[in-house]
């Protein structure tokens, strides 16, 4: 497995953020989709593409471990027969051997300095691939930004059109309501005028009747006066 920090552009802070979201190795980043990497804080669509390409490059640049040398098969030697002299020597007590043996002196172990393996340098092809991936990511990001700007402009235009339409509708409704109120007021005034005219006509008719009664009364009185005068 390749460490996340070997990926170009990944520091300690970003490595922690990636690990928190399940991307613990460069292989996990290489296999991930841009939509998954975008969920990690501080990673956008363009940077996600760049990180995936860088992870693939880091995996390709990782030095392969040397294969262990094949062990040679051991050949067994045929057992040698002991001679009589060897048998006699073996029969001697073990104490004689221990007295003759020299005490073993332990040499102090010398610690070997740890040597760091030199980091594998990127090949020209890998660098070119990184450059192409970065250019493609930038182009993709620019295209995404352009589309987002167009969508935003279209949404704003649609919203402005909807607001204008709603405003015109509200204005028309207000005008219709005002016209309705005016018509109602006119109808009310007309009814009032009719009622007044009818009342005036009735009043005039009543006045005429009263005047006629008065005239009739006066005529009767005159006739009575004439009759009285003749008598």
- Residue spans of the domains in the chain: they are 1-63
C-alpha–C-alpha distance, residues 88 and 95, integer Å:
15
Phi, psi of 81 (to 5 degrees): -75, 135
b vs e for 66-86, b when ≥16 Cβ sit within 10 Å of the residue's Cβ? eeeeeeeeeeeeeeeeeeeee
Of the candidates 45, 54, 72, 50, which has an alpha carbon nearest to the alpha carbon of residue 145?
A: 45
DSSP state, residue 40: S
Q: Please report which helix (H) or strand (E) contains residue 34, including its range.
A: helix 34-37
Predicted local confidence at residue 93, as pLDDT: 46
DSSP state, residue 8: T
Predicted local confidence at residue 181, as pLDDT: 92
- Contact (CB, 8 A) for 39 and 135: no
pLDDT tens digits along 40-99: 888 888 888 998 999 999 888 876 544 454 445 455 554 555 554 455 455 444 444 444
Per-residue pLDDT of the chain (231 residues; tens, 9 = 90+): 788 888 888 888 888 988 898 888 989 988 988 888 888 888 888 888 998 999 999 888 876 544 454 445 455 554 555 554 455 455 444 444 444 444 555 555 555 555 555 444 557 777 778 788 888 888 888 888 888 888 888 898 999 999 999 999 999 999 999 999 999 998 889 888 988 888 888 888 888 888 888 888 887 887 778 777 776
Predicted local confidence at residue 199, as pLDDT: 83
Of the candidates 13, 20, 19, which has an alpha carbon nearest to the alpha carbon of residue 42?
A: 13
CA separation, residue 43 to residues 67, 148, 203, 229 (Å): 39, 18, 94, 132
Q: Please report which helix (H) or strand (E) contains residue 226, including its range.
A: helix 124-230
Phi, psi of 93 (to 5 degrees): -65, 150
**Terminal alpha carbon distance of the chain:** 155
The total of other beta-carbon atoms located within 10 Å of residue 143's CB is 10
- Mind giving me the DSSP string for 46-107? HHHHHHHHHHHHHHHHSPPPPPPPPPPPPPPPPPPPPPHHHHHHHHS-HHHHHHHSPPPPPP
User: Residues in the chain, how many?
Assistant: 231
**Superfamily assignment of 1-63 in CATH?**
5' to 3' exonuclease, C-terminal subdomain (1.10.150.20)
149-153: Cβ within 8 A, 24+ apart = none
Predicted local confidence at residue 109, as pLDDT: 56
**Based on the number of CB atoms within 10 Å of its own CB, is 50 exposed (0-12), middle (13-18) or buried (19 or more)?**
buried
Predicted local confidence at residue 227, as pLDDT: 75
């Amino acid at each position: 497995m390749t460490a996340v920090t070997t990926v170009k552009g990944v520091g300690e802070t970003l490595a922690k953020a990636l690990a928190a979201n399940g991307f613990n190795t460069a292989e996990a980043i290489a296999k991930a989709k841009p939509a998954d990497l975008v969920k990690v804080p501080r990673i956008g669509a363009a940077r996600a593409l760049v990180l995936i390409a860088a992870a693939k490059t880091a995996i390709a640049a990782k030095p392969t471990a040397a294969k262990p040398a094949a062990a040679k098969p051991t050949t067994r030697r045929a057992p040698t027969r002991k001679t009589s002299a060897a048998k006699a020597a073996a029969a001697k007590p073990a104490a004689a051997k221990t007295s003759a043996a020299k005490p073993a002196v332990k040499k102090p172990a010398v610690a070997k300095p740890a040597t760091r393996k030199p980091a594998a340098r990127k090949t020209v092809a890998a660098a070119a691939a990184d450059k192409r991936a970065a250019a493609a990511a930038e182009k993709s990001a620019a295209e995404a930004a352009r589309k987002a700007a167009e969508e935003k402009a279209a949404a704003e235009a649609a919203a402005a059109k909807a607001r204008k339409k709603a405003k015109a509708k509200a204005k028309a409704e207000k005008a219709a309501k005002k016209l309705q109120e005016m018509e109602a007021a006119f109808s009310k005034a007309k009814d009032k005028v009719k009622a007044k005219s009818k009342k005036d006509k009735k009043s005039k008719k009543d006045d005429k009747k009263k005047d006629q009664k008065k005239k009739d009364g006066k005529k009767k009185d005159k006739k009575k006066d004439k009759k009285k005068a003749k008598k």
